[in-house]
Amino acid sequence: MTVTTPLVNGTSYCTVTAYSADSYKQAIDFYSKFLSLEDLTSNAQEQSTTISNGSISIKIQLKENPQQQSQVANQLEQLKAMEKTQDWRSHVQESLVFSTANILINKETLTALQYPTQSYPSELFPMELYTLDPLGNVIGVTSTKNAISTKPTEPPAQKKAKFASGLPSKVHSFTDLSYRMKTTDNYPSLPKTTNEKNKKAIAVMTSGGDAQGMNSNVRAIVRSAIFKGCRAFVVMEGYEGLVRGGPEYIKECSWEDVRGWSAEGGTNIGTARCLEFRERAGRLLGAQHLIEAGVDALIVCGGDGSLTGADLFRSEWPSLIEELLANKRISQDQFDKYKHLNICGTVGSIDNDMSTTDATIGAYSALDRICTAIDYVEATANSHSRAFVVEVMGRNCGWLALLAGIATSADYIFIPEKPATSSEWQDQMCDIVSKHRARGKRTTIVIVAEGAISVDLTPISPADVHKVLVDRLGLDTRITTLGHVQRGGTAVAYDRMLATLQGVEAVNAVLESTPETPSPLIAINENKIVRKPLVESVRLTKEVAAAIQAKDFKKAMSLRDTEFIEHLKNFMAINSADHNEPKLAADKRLKIAIVNVGAPAGGINSAVYSMATYCMSQGHKPYAIYNGWSGLARHESVRSLDWKSMIGWQSRGGSELGTNRNTPEEADIGMIAYYFQKYQFDGLVIVGGFEAFESLNQLEKARESYPAFRIPMVLIPATLSNNVPGTEYSLGSDTALNALMEYCDVVKQSAASTRGRTFVVDVQGGNSGYLATCAALAVGAQASYVPEEGIPLPQLQQDIETLAESFESAKGRGRNGKLILKSTNASKALGATDLANVITAEANGRFDAKPAFPGHVQQGGLPSPIDRTRATRFAIKAVDFIEEQQQTMASVRAADDEFNADDKDVSATATVLGVKRSHIVFSSIRQLYDYETEISLRMPKVIHWQGTRAIADHLVGRKRVD
């Protein structure tokens, strides 16, 4: 890449080189669209093209060279792979940067072109935007006056026309759905449509067993359909509603009809089994009733049986309407208009038994009910030293039993995917329970999935387990069958968000479907909302049940996702602790320490418990550093962990080890090194937030001076703020989100009881708006203010007007309490009380606002099942990492005089364990700290949850002021 003028203040002319004809054409297309340049001259003889907009010019030249092209392709692949993890600028010698009048338009263009991007200082408010051109170059635009300024340049009026919006994006991900919705000045912010007759009509129905989150799904579908300029319908009572038909069962919905549904359990539009729909005559009636109602597309939220029926309905549709026309039950005009039916599925199932998706709507809510019940049961079991056999749902899937077993430290579980002979399971269960009891445990919890079987397919009932515990071990045993309690209550935050995002994408799917498009299923994979073939997903799901019936349990297990298998291995490992012979030979056993740093967060104790019990099963010796770095430096607070002292920690809130915010340098890093050397630690696990991140960085930098730190070190992020670089998920954020959501539900109920009342809820999270953003989506808050955006006065004024219009539109109807969520650091000038007073004053009597402070409720309480099970997974991954890196660090310690802190293999042993797109990854602390962190803000540079804000705003009709 040849540049003829300095880059910082913008480049007037430059030349880039393509090494193949294809990349040459792609480069011309890229620069023309990204920078809105025009093809001025093409020189066939020189094989070059110059494009310009008057102020900048780019010459693209072709020099065909297959070897160079191969190198460019390899570089592109490497840079693309580190899009979310590393700063491209640190891996190239130079980058080309232009000034832009409107950086957001450039970003929209890149999204439309599906090019990778990196934004700084954040994705919400980018001042610098970088991408990769087809020639392997890092290309950027900036809205600042120069590359190091922090003051945005005002867009000149004459240049606004230079940039035009790009094509609609085809990317479907967890956070990029917002671009599909455009707003106007009115509440709710809906696109204006002119032709009412040609509006597409989309109906939604819930079918099969109910699941928490179905109402959130219906709400999102109805409002998204209205946003897209469509008519929205609901089908009451599932397929029975289709068969019965008429306005009583197929109802058109308005914006206000689904207000407040996210906070309600079950399904408000009903569900029912329908034998008639299984027959062709019933499906014929269903087709007639949909046509009479004017419905073009149908979205079904249900399990595999419901979705199978939906796809059969679509496949028969042409023959059904031909028969209706032949029998004169519909007119020729109706036949022509409704010749095709588009169908889409979202999965509502508490069993989490659908293949091709990581989670189904309602599964984590049911798991929450199970864990809460077992926590209650264990308290009474401890009082009487009893055993409890708990039956949970799961006919062909043991997911609920398995995850509940991990989250509650159950003694034994029965799942259909891994059966044993009658004598084997009895011996195994009695052996484990006896060992637990012999070591001082007063309670015994055995979890039985309703589909539990032995290898000969004989059902294993709670009564069978009860008999064995009584007859062979003499335990006072009780049976608890949770039944439909597991389906009850409102959805947890995860299910509300999942159902909402899937509902938005379901509407997009049916609008984009063609007669040839296979019926899509909306799934979540790799932290993205994606579309999968509905028929294939159902087929794979049914294969599991068929494999179990055929006694092919190995195949049944293989059809489960890898995380299911990993969870099963983890349960067996931590359940054995020190009760069996260690797996590793004596010379492979290590001394591994664990410390908590920063504020308490849900799941910290679960991580400590899982790390220690897994260490014991492997043969390692686990040590706890109590009260953080200051406890170690001042009091030598190191204790080895034993199994009995940790009983109950898996489900306990707070931090049993104690924690504070001091870093090693603040506590006395020399004394810390002394104690590390004294105890001869072979590895370290740090659990905490940004202070823990700082701590790991300090320890890694001190390796040159203190050989005691030349050991593998892993940080498990744990903070409600979810602001640790290198991960999209931190332990404690789900627990905090649920606590905040429950608080907001109660406050919103209070607001609804007083006409014209809004509550401004003060939300924790430091400089991160993650908690406020996700809670806003989960509870349907009218607005959320976060530190990344601040509180712009024009936006505040618009929000007040939107609130007034919303109250006026509701006309006193119920469920109309309003919430505004404000991150504490969103504004230094306006606290929650001040903001409430401003809103009340500016509302001029149309409504009023009150402040609400959940405070440290957001940090307390029992950890959620998600935080418990992920803490176990993270802790075991951390120990495995320490085991794997021993050889690297052993050679480093052996060559003490030749220690090289800059060696990549060495620096990679001080790492942050993170979740990125649902994959667990290990990222070097040096890379993260130096290139991917805004140190002063205690934030990562790239904000992964950006798109969630726009969706939350659109679904409540909020008007955005640019």
Which long-range contacts link 24-28 to residues 24+ away (Cβ below 8 Å)? Answer: 24/60, 24/62, 26/134, 27/60, 27/133, 27/134, 27/135, 28/60
> Annotation-wise, does 858 bind a ligand?
yes
Give Cα 860 distance to the centre of its chain.
22
> Annotation-wise, does 814 bind a ligand?
no
Cβ neighbours for 236, distance < 8 A, ≥ 6 positions apart: 248, 249, 250, 251, 269, 270
Q: What CA–CA distances, in Å, run from 823 to 762, 775, 843?
A: 6, 11, 22
How far apart are alpha carbons 207 and 183 in whole angstroms?
Answer: 32
> Annotation-wise, does 886 bind a ligand?
no
Catalytic position from the list 176, 351, 762, 799: 351
211 in Cβ contact with 205 (< 8 Å) = no
Q: Which residue has tokens 């012979």?
A: 581
Token pair, residue 558, equals 């293989």
What strand order describes the sheet that includes 138-142?
96-99, 138-142, 128-132, 117-120
> Annotation-wise, does 303 bind a ligand?
yes
> Annotation-wise, does 857 bind a ligand?
yes
Give Cα 789 distance to the centre of its chain.
22
613 in Cβ contact with 646 (< 8 Å) = yes
How far apart are alpha carbons 654 and 649 in whole angstroms?
Answer: 10
Token pair, residue 125, equals 């408010």
> Annotation-wise, does 763 bind a ligand?
no
> Annotation-wise, does 486 bind a ligand?
yes
> Annotation-wise, does 635 bind a ligand?
no
> Annotation-wise, does 481 bind a ligand?
no
Q: What CA–CA distances, in Å, run from 853 to 69, 241, 471, 754, 829?
A: 59, 44, 54, 19, 17
659 in Cβ contact with 651 (< 8 Å) = no
> Annotation-wise, does 661 bind a ligand?
yes
> Annotation-wise, does 304 bind a ligand?
yes
> Annotation-wise, does 222 bind a ligand?
no
Residue whose C-alpha is closest to residue 688's, from 604, 565, 589: 604
> Annotation-wise, does 960 bind a ligand?
no
> Annotation-wise, does 764 bind a ligand?
yes
> Annotation-wise, does 893 bind a ligand?
no
How far does the chain reach from its first CA to its final CA, in angstroms? Answer: 36
> Annotation-wise, does 97 bind a ligand?
no
> Annotation-wise, does 29 bind a ligand?
no
62 in Cβ contact with 28 (< 8 Å) = no
- H or E element at residue 14: strand 13-18
Label residues 653-689 b or e (16+ Cβ within 10 Å = b): bbbbbbbbbbbbbbbbbebbbbbbeebebbbbbbbbb
> Annotation-wise, does 305 bind a ligand?
yes
Q: Can you tell me whether residue 571 is helix, strand or coil?
A: helix
How far apart are alpha carbons 79 and 717 in whole angstroms?
Answer: 26
> Annotation-wise, does 632 bind a ligand?
no
660 in Cβ contact with 641 (< 8 Å) = no
Token pair, residue 381, equals 């079991």
> Annotation-wise, does 350 bind a ligand?
yes
> Annotation-wise, does 687 bind a ligand?
no
Label residues 81-106 b or e (16+ Cβ within 10 Å = b): eeebbbbbbeeeeebbbbbbbbbebb
> Annotation-wise, does 926 bind a ligand?
no
> Annotation-wise, does 723 bind a ligand?
yes
> Annotation-wise, does 485 bind a ligand?
yes
How far apart are alpha carbons 163 and 157 in whole angstroms?
Answer: 12
DSSP string, 530-564: EEEEHHHHHHHHHHHHHHHHTT-HHHHHHTS-HHH
> Annotation-wise, does 757 bind a ligand?
yes
DSSP string, 225-238: HHHTT-EEEEETTH
> Annotation-wise, does 500 bind a ligand?
no
> Annotation-wise, does 395 bind a ligand?
yes
> Annotation-wise, does 578 bind a ligand?
no
> Annotation-wise, does 574 bind a ligand?
no
In the annotation, is 351 catalytic? yes
Residue 391: exposed, middle, or buried by beta-carbon count in 10 A (0-12, 13-18, 19+)?
A: buried
Q: What CA–CA distances, in Å, run from 815 to 213, 256, 668, 710?
A: 17, 10, 55, 59
> Annotation-wise, does 745 bind a ligand?
no
How far apart are alpha carbons 646 and 528 in whole angstroms?
Answer: 37
> Annotation-wise, does 722 bind a ligand?
yes
Extract the annotated binding site for Mg(2+).
Answer: 304
Extract the annotated binding site for beta-D-fructose 2,6-bisphosphate.
Answer: 661, 719-723, 757, 764-766, 850, 856-859, 938
Extract the annotated binding site for substrate.
Answer: 349-351, 386, 393-395, 450, 478, 484-487
Extract the annotated binding site.
Answer: 209, 273-274, 303-306, 349-351, 386, 393-395, 450, 478, 484-487, 661, 719-723, 757, 764-766, 850, 856-859, 938
Catalytic residue annotation: 351
Extract the annotated binding site for ATP.
Answer: 209, 273-274, 303-306
